[in-house]
Amino acid sequence: MAEHAAGWYPDYTDARQQRYWDGQQWTHYVYRPVSEGAPRWRRKQPKFKPSTQLVEATYRMVFADRSMIALVFAGAVLSTLAGAAVVLPALHGLHYDASYGQDVESALIVSAGAGAATFVFQFVIGAVVAGAMLRAEGRPVTVRDALAMAWARKRQLLAWAAVTTVVGAITRVLERFGIGGLLAALSINLGWAVATVFAAPVIMVEGTMPIATVRRSVSLLRGRFTVVLVSGITAALPWVVVMWFALPVVLVAAGFMVFGSGLVAVAGGVVFVVSVLAVAFGLAVSASVGATLEANLYRYAMGQPVPGVDQHLLPPLLPT
């Protein structure tokens, strides 16, 4: 079947189902169409079982290829350096005072640094999403492959980083206007987070620009909000708990390191370094899980197979 394009074809092992051909070989993904008398889009879709399976599948994918965790960690470091490379030299040359003009100039510099950091990190997240998409299709993937796919979408990722930076700048301005401004900023942040939950996979798969990306993400979210919400909370909760306990350890260790003496200070320094590295690793894993979950949720929303998720729990197969 080398002349056939990738797609679903009648399964050679069972005529009642279809098997996915990736363009070169048969994969282990199979799909049994629902009978016409009970079309899949008319069945009430379960909410919690697919969420559990999606999160379990996500963790298996992340820890089966730890190179993506290392990529996210490196991306976080590089994004911080990119932001600092923009902000620190500019602020160093700016003789700040309390005047309005200087305040605006400082805000623009910080926003530019945030934009640089956002682009670098969004680029890395796009690479992780691309890698997750390939693994979900049963294809081998390397960090180089994932980065190459992200580079192919560099224009879209840059535009998305710019829009995200503008939204962040607007919310920071609103926060200066008392309680009303804080509530408005919170509403914008929550609305933006919900509306753009599928943004990274939509950009990587469909190559859309920001406005089309938001529209497509919102359309995919309709009817699937509960699955997305439960999956996101379930995946993030362990890392929230870890951070809740780890940060006090970091602060206590820093106190012993700064205010202690002798062995106490040394021990505090060792614990501080280990704790900081552990927190950084936890954040990298959490970000990797989040990006991989976005890819799996996108495939779920499209009705495409996700390894480890029951085919009968999928919504209708949507055209790509």
What pLDDT shows up at residue 212?
Answer: 94
What pLDDT shows up at residue 186?
Answer: 93
Helix (H, G, I), strand (E, B) or coil at 222: coil
Residues with Cβ within 8 Å of 238's Cβ and at least 6 positions away in sequence, in order, are none
pLDDT over 80 (residue 131)? yes
Residues 226, 151 contacting (CB under 8 angstroms): no
The crossing angle, in degrees rounded to 10, of helices 178-195 and 154-174 is: 160
Of 87-96, 134-143, 301-310, highest mean pLDDT? 134-143
Residues with Cβ within 8 Å of 57's Cβ and at least 6 positions away in sequence, in order, are 296, 306, 307, 308, 309
Check residues 194 and 30 and name the one with the higher pLDDT: 194
What pLDDT shows up at residue 183?
Answer: 94
What pLDDT shows up at residue 193?
Answer: 92
Adjacent-strand bridge partners of 19: 9, 30
pLDDT over 70 (residue 15)? no
Q: What's the token pair of residue 107?
A: 């805000």
What pLDDT shows up at residue 41?
Answer: 43
Residues 157, 203 contacting (CB under 8 angstroms): yes
What pLDDT shows up at residue 48?
Answer: 62
Sheet hosting strand 7-10, strand order edge to edge: 7-10, 18-21, 26-31
What pLDDT shows up at residue 97?
Answer: 47
Mean pLDDT of the region 217-234 = 89
What pLDDT shows up at residue 29?
Answer: 64
Mean pLDDT of the region 273-288 = 87
Instruction: Write out pLDDT tens, residues 22-58.
Output: 777 777 666 666 554 444 444 455 556 788 889 998 9
The mean pLDDT value of the chain amounts to 82
How large a percentage of the chain has pLDDT more than 70?
A: 82
Instruction: Write out pLDDT tens, residues 48-105.
Output: 678 888 999 899 989 888 888 999 999 988 888 888 888 777 666 655 444 434 466 6
What pLDDT shows up at residue 103?
Answer: 60
